[in-house]
Amino acid sequence: MSVLNEMVELLPEQSYTCFVIRQLFSREECQILLSDQIKNSFQEANTHYPTSYRNNDRLVMDDAVLASQLFEKVKPYLPETIFVESDNAEAGSWQLKELNHRLRYCRYQQGQYFNRHLDGVHYRSENVQSKLTFMVYLNDASEFEGGRTLFYTSKDTSEVWASYIPQQGDLIVFDHNLWHEGEALTAGEKFVLRSDILYERISPVELTSLELPYSEGHLGYIWKLLWFTNGLLISGGRDTFIKVWDVNGHCTQRLAGHANSVLCLSQIDERCFVSGSRDRSIRVWKLHEDGRFVQDAIYYWHNALVLSLCIIDHQIVASSGGDNLIRIGTISGQILKTLTGHTDWIWNLLWLENSLLASCSEDKTIKIWDYQTGTCLVTLQDNAPVHCLAYNKATCQLLSGNYIGEVHIWSQNTNNSLDWHLIHTFHAHLGIIRTIVWINNRYLASGGEDNKVLIWDLSERKPVLTFTHQNFVQSLVLNDEGELISASYDGKIHVWKLPEWIQKES
């Protein structure tokens, strides 16, 4: 019987799995894993991740053979079963299965970091999902300064719960639900190899909630909702599917085509919508006579993921991406103009009126454009990356939500499209505001990384209602009945009935 390596529990007083296996991989094994070919193949991560999140270099590869070999090394140390206590579809017992075949190498150089985050679940299916993170340190801390792996009790606390100084050959395993970060390097280079440990469901818990409207949800994050003509709801998620839901909340169609997460959706007309994805494609979907959507066109306007789509009229589409560009083109795929000026990811586009288009960016600015001439008319400066926008034509007010949880209210001079000024700022969420919508002239709804949907009374700038998801709230829409629908990283869609005293406001 082989002798197991030393295991060090990093959170011995907690229920979370979080431990290090000392020297599980030899120096020679680490050198083989980190070959010269691997070292020469790293790419910047900014085409897939914003700089506020991470700025290290990465290399992604699929290798089932290597994954199997790595899994055999770690398998004796892993919990055979994990029981999930929850009120959602992940509840029940899960049995150890294998290592995700997708392997991610990371390189950190001076000034590079991976800010505080939760590792996303890898969903192979409803019954095979990752629960734990697998990460090998491929070189020793003597070769760099900084670069600790830090764990926190929550997203917002400043107290470090546990920390680990990497040693070559050590493997760290921890629960996906642990907030952690890769500390910035101050010198040298640090290399890691990470993947996900998969478990298979063996005893699901029966949930009555699965009978509710939209209860099917998505496998993994839901990025975007679109309220479509005739009471249809359309959603796009990390599982690469676009789902079409009828008026009763039943999924009637799953549209396949995108190779990665579906990040944005926008309606072109009563029979057509457009989608954008992390796979860099923009796809047009058309409703046929049989009542089903089919893909009508596909085009590539960006050299990075597509973050936002905005329909200006039935023929003109605006898109923004992780390449810091805005494209203006036709629904047939012809690019008419390229708008340049932002210096980082452009999170959201919004058509205001006439020829005015608004954009907000990771570069901490909002820009107002004349899309017909391609001219930037106004730049509004924020104090943090700006993630979402909403415009009220009746009041000529623009809402923006930013990285540190603030809502800004900008007012436009109706006699001068170049005259915008900030009239109010209030702190709305702990963490990023990911979505914001006007309910009417008095009330707005916002969703953020504190897992909350908040309804705000703008006359007093205070929350009057709170709804809660189990993960980040990513998208909000209002349906034809005046109900608010939210989608979350928890893979769920919820309908929230708003009281009459909110709906009756003009």
What confidence category does residue 504 fall into, taking pLDDT thresholds of 50, 70 and 90?
low
Paired strand residues for 456: 444, 463
- Within 13 A of 46's CA, how many CA atoms are on the CB side? 14
- Name residues whose C-beta falls within 8 Å of residue 412's C-beta, 6 or more positions apart in sequence: 396, 397, 398, 419, 420
Say if residues 318 and 283 touch (Cβ distance below 8 Å): no
Which DSSP symbol is given to 64?
Answer: H
Which DSSP symbol is given to 183?
Answer: P
pLDDT value of residue 443:
94
**pLDDT (average), residues 226-249:** 95
Polymer length in residues for the chain: 506
Does residue 15 surpass a pLDDT of 50?
A: yes
pLDDT value of residue 47:
77
Instruction: Give tens-digit pLDDT for 63-76.
Output: 999 999 999 999 99
Instruction: Domain of residue 140: give its range.
Output: 7-204
Kindly list the distances between the CA atom of residue 223 and the CA atoms of 44, 59, 490, in Å, as whole numbers in the listed order. Answer: 23, 24, 10
249 closest CA partner among 220, 202, 276, 212 = 212
Identify the residue with better confidence: 212 or 222.
222
Q: Residue type at 22?
A: R
pLDDT value of residue 506:
52
Does residue 138 surpass a pLDDT of 50?
A: yes
59 closest CA partner among 26, 104, 17 = 104
Position 112 in a domain: yes
Does residue 105 surpass a pLDDT of 80?
A: yes
Instruction: Give tens-digit pLDDT for 162-179.
Output: 999 989 999 999 999 999
Say if residues 491 and 219 touch (Cβ distance below 8 Å): yes
Mapped onto helix, strand or coil, the DSSP state of residue 503 is: helix
Please state whether beta strands 293-299 and 306-311 pair in parallel, antiparallel, or not at all (unpaired).
unpaired
Does residue 315 surpass a pLDDT of 90?
A: no
pLDDT value of residue 1:
45
Domain count of the fold of the chain: 1
Identify the residue with better confidence: 219 or 4.
219
Position 50 in a domain: yes
pLDDT value of residue 208:
52
Mean pLDDT is lowest, of 12-21, 83-92, 317-326, for 83-92
Position 457 in a domain: no
Instruction: Give tens-digit pLDDT for 373-427.
Output: 999 999 999 999 999 999 999 999 999 999 999 999 999 887 776 889 999 999 9
Position 277 in a domain: no
CA dihedral 154, 156, 158, 163 (to 10 degrees): 40
Mean pLDDT is lowest, of 46-50, 85-89, 463-467, for 85-89
- Backbone φ and ψ for 175, nearest 5 degrees, come out as -65, 140
Which DSSP symbol is given to 323?
Answer: T
Say if residues 407 and 433 touch (Cβ distance below 8 Å): yes
**pLDDT (average), residues 33-56:** 90
Strands laid side by side in the 335-339 sheet: 306-311, 316-321, 326-330, 335-339
pLDDT value of residue 230:
86
CATH of the domain at 126: 2.60.120.620
Position 372 in a domain: no
Instruction: Give tens-digit pLDDT for 475-496.
Output: 999 999 989 999 999 999 999 9
Say if residues 488 and 451 touch (Cβ distance below 8 Å): yes
Position 293 in a domain: no
**Token digits for 159?**
């107290």
Mean pLDDT is lowest, of 2-16, 168-182, 434-448, for 2-16
Please state whether beta strands 251-255 and 397-402 pair in parallel, antiparallel, or not at all (unpaired).
unpaired
**pLDDT (average), residues 113-117:** 93
Position 195 in a domain: yes
pLDDT value of residue 52:
87
Element spanning 377, H or E: strand 375-381
CA dihedral 168, 171, 174, 178 (to 10 degrees): 10
Task: Report the mean per-residue pLDDT for the chain.
Answer: 93
Full DSSP string of 242-274: EEEE-TTS-EEEEE---SS-EEEEEEEETTEEE
**pLDDT (average), residues 37-52:** 88
Say if residues 406 and 384 touch (Cβ distance below 8 Å): yes
CA-CA distance, 376 to 358, in Å (whole number)? 10
What confidence category does residue 44 fall into, taking pLDDT thresholds of 50, 70 and 90?
confident
Instruction: Give tens-digit pLDDT for 23-36.
Output: 999 999 999 999 99
CA-CA distance, 157 to 148, in Å (whole number)? 17
Position 333 in a domain: no
**Token digits for 109?**
């150089």
